[in-house]
Amino acid sequence: MTLFKLFRRGSAPVARERLQILLAHERVARSQPDLLGQLREEILAVISRHVAFEPDKVQIKMDRGRSVSTLEVEIEIPNALGAELAKAS
Amino acid sequence: MAQVLVVTSGKGGVGKTTSTAALGAALAQNGDKVVVIDFDVGLRNLDLVMGAERRVVFDLINVINGVAKLPQALIRDKRLENLNLLPASQTRDKDALTEEGVAKVIDELKTKFDWIICDSPAGIERGATLAMRYADAAIIVTNPEVSSVRDSDRIIGLLDAKTVKAERGERIEKHLLVTRYSPGRAARGEMLTIEDVLEILSTPLLGIIPESEEVLRASNIGSPVTLANSLSSPARAYFDAAARLRGEKVPMVVPSDGRGLLNKLFGRKAA
């Protein structure tokens, strides 16, 4: 049945639909890494004004859930500084 | 004022070089001074398509490196004296193509020509981004086929991000050139229609080049199709596209080679 339909309608409508779905996803994905990179840079700039840390001890993750998305920032701070920060808070 | 165009696509084999040569020759036949530049370092082919492969002495990289002066590297077309070619280098030193070097060459060309047409290599690497870097307008060559349309979408994204115009916050003009189009197959639902492609890429149309044997014949003999057979359907479509580039209003039609009823009935396979 599907084959018959394909044959009758031609395959171009399928191509069109596949492209529309794919490109909608790719356009979103394309703009995302930039946003994350920018967030990362700005967050690090703010934190490094107050605490010294190694840039490669930083993890930033973005999870996209159905209703809520989360941005996870994990920064490893050397123990000496960590103690000071805990005291201050 | 000189116009800098980039002919680009992302995907290879869709007709960038053919279109560069055909549009360059069409604009030159109108009396404009035209230079076409091959940016495909290591895999140059514009020289071959234009029939100038045996006349290459110096190339773009030589000019950038200061080995040759620009006028020494320019090859004047034997058929059209106001059509010129700046070939790519056939060596693999792609890094020799620098941003400053390309900027300098294009600035110098702007003082001598009305149209500077940059033939981009396929892909989205350095050669492709440098070819589009200084463009005022882009011609995106697309086949009515899924992989080509997808790659065109990617290239449109790059044009809006990586060109000097885009970085300055200006709009880079974009034109879609659909090549290898078969109206018959599109009407039968076998091929994406022009409307499909336009809707998906939302970019204004510069022209529709019909699928034609004449394109291969022209490249076989080393002549832009607009010179090899100016009455053929692809040539007429390229002339129309060139007129639109000049700002003329030309109705959008897909030229066809006038065929008789018998041919239409029996030549369907080829349509």
Q: Which residues pair with A73 in a beta bridge?
A: A60
- Among B154, B191, B200, beta carbon nearest to A19: B200
For residue A38, the chain B residues in CB contact (below 8 A) are none
Distinct helix (H) and strand (E) counts, chain A:
3, 2
- As a whole number, mean pLDDT of residues B1-26 equals 96
Task: Tell me how far apart the alpha carbons of residues B5 and B10 are, in angstroms, rounded to a whole number.
Answer: 16
Question: First CA to last CA across chain B, in angstroms?
Answer: 41
The alpha carbon of residue A1 is apart from the nearest alpha carbon of chain B, in Å, by: 18
- As a whole number, mean pLDDT of residues B105-128 equals 96
For residue A12, the chain B residues in CB contact (below 8 A) are 186, 189-193, 196
For residue A15, the chain B residues in CB contact (below 8 A) are 145-146, 192, 196
CA-to-CA dists, residue B190 to A14, A15, B152, angstroms = 10, 10, 20
The yes-or-no verdict on residue B271 having pLDDT over 60 is: no
Cβ <8 Å between A12 and B186: yes
Task: Tell me how far apart the alpha carbons of residues B34 and B28 are, in angstroms, rounded to a whole number.
Answer: 6
The yes-or-no verdict on residue B159 having pLDDT over 50 is: yes
Cβ <8 Å between A15 and B186: no
Handedness of CA B58, B62, B68, B73 (dihedral sign): positive
Which residue type, as a one-letter code, is found at position B47? D
Cβ <8 Å between B200 and A16: yes
**Which pLDDT score is estimated for A69?**
83
Cβ <8 Å between A27 and B154: no
Please state which of the ranges A28-32, B43-47, B48-52, B85-89 shows the lowest mean pLDDT. A28-32
Residue A27 or residue B35, greater confidence: B35
Task: Tell me how far apart the alpha carbons of residues B32 and B26 are, in angstroms, rounded to a whole number.
Answer: 9
- Mean pLDDT for chain A? 79
Task: Look up tokens 């916050």; give the residue.
Answer: B169
The pLDDT confidence band at residue B270, using thresholds 50, 70 and 90, is very low
The alpha carbon of residue B198 is apart from the nearest alpha carbon of chain A, in Å, by: 11
The alpha carbon of residue A39 is apart from the nearest alpha carbon of chain B, in Å, by: 19
**Which pLDDT score is estimated for A5?**
52
Q: What is the pLDDT of residues B54-72, one digit of tens each?
A: 999 999 999 999 999 999 9
**Which pLDDT score is estimated for B124?**
93
Task: Tell me how far apart the alpha carbons of residues B39 and B36 are, in angstroms, rounded to a whole number.
Answer: 10
Task: Tell me how far apart the alpha carbons of residues B120 and B129 are, in angstroms, rounded to a whole number.
Answer: 8
- As a whole number, mean pLDDT of residues A40-66 equals 82
For residue B186, the chain A residues in CB contact (below 8 A) are 12
Handedness of CA B177, B178, B180, B183 (dihedral sign): negative
Residues of B with CB under 8 A from a CB of A: 145-146, 149-150, 153-154, 157, 186, 188-193, 196, 200
Provide the b/e sequence for B92-131 (b: ≥16 CB within 10 Å): eebeebeeebbeebbeebbeebbbbbbbbbbbbebbbbbb
Q: What is the pLDDT of residues B205-251, one digit of tens each?
A: 999 999 999 999 999 999 999 999 999 999 999 999 999 999 999 99
Please state which of the ranges A17-31, B14-28, B119-133 shows the lowest mean pLDDT. A17-31
Q: What is the pLDDT of residues A8-31, one digit of tens each?
A: 579 999 999 999 999 999 988 877
DSSP state of B110: H
Cβ <8 Å between A12 and B150: no
ipTM > 0.90, yes or no: no
| pTM, rounded to two decimals | 0.82
Please state which of the ranges A73-87, B127-141, B198-212, B241-255 shows the lowest mean pLDDT. A73-87
The alpha carbon of residue B200 is apart from the nearest alpha carbon of chain A, in Å, by: 6
| Percentage above 70 pLDDT, chain B | 94
Q: How many beta-carbon pairs below 8 A join chains A and B?
A: 39
Cα Rg of chain B, angstroms: 18
The yes-or-no verdict on residue B154 having pLDDT over 90 is: yes
* Token pair recorded at residue B265: 């009935």
Q: Which residues pair with B175 in a beta bridge?
A: B139
A-chain residue closest to B148, CA distance? A19
Task: Tell me how far apart the alpha carbons of residues B131 and B8 are, in angstroms, rounded to a whole number.
Answer: 8
The pLDDT confidence band at residue A32, using thresholds 50, 70 and 90, is low
**Which pLDDT score is estimated for A70?**
85
Residues of A with CB under 8 A from a CB of B: 9-13, 15-16, 18-20, 22-23, 26-27, 30
